[in-house]
Structure 1
């Protein structure tokens, strides 16, 4: 009884903002119970030697999930990537609660997006019946 009264008081005095409730619902919708997590194995911001005198250098990322490797180049011009071993795949660029770009990898596993990811992002790949989600990174 007391717990219910406290819930009602909290709902009146400090309600959950509608935007936060929507973000929570959409974050849950992104959850894939059967998805494998692709771990970040290379990030040029952390692992590469700095290149002297170069302008804006694209960020190179490599993700690994078992035998599947995803190489991604992120720049101001967009996103380029390749799934290895080469195979067709459907890819979604996840940006939290916002709908992400939907990309398609060709038979060689190559995919591209003209829009660079903004803020935290991850990739969800569907290759046949397999679902793989990369770690989340800040663009």
Structure 2
């Protein structure tokens, strides 16, 4: 037996509306939004008194997704440091294929997102860049050019 698919990546955010706007601008669609609480989330995440609001974002192809989660209780806390460097151990980057990297970066600037370094050309096959997204995560963008 093996896994069937990767369903989604969860990102805990402090401003759910802004995070939804960010991923909508990136090209994802809001599939649904709801408050989740009770014994099932308490048991699942191992915390007591969980109350969250989640927004499920789906990419245009419908595969996978991003679950944006705002903890209403218990309150979320920032890791230290709040925006870890790209070489920090652990999960903190999500990559998206885009059709126009420069346009995508320009549109995400209204959220304060700037490339961490710059736009790199990888062997005339991809344009690549990293930028900061909601909650300080790194959002990687890749445009196939060759």
TM-score exceeds 0.5:
no
Q: Relative to total residues, which structure has the larger strand share, 1 or 2?
A: 1
Task: Give me the TM-score of the superposition, normalised by structure 2.
Answer: 0.27
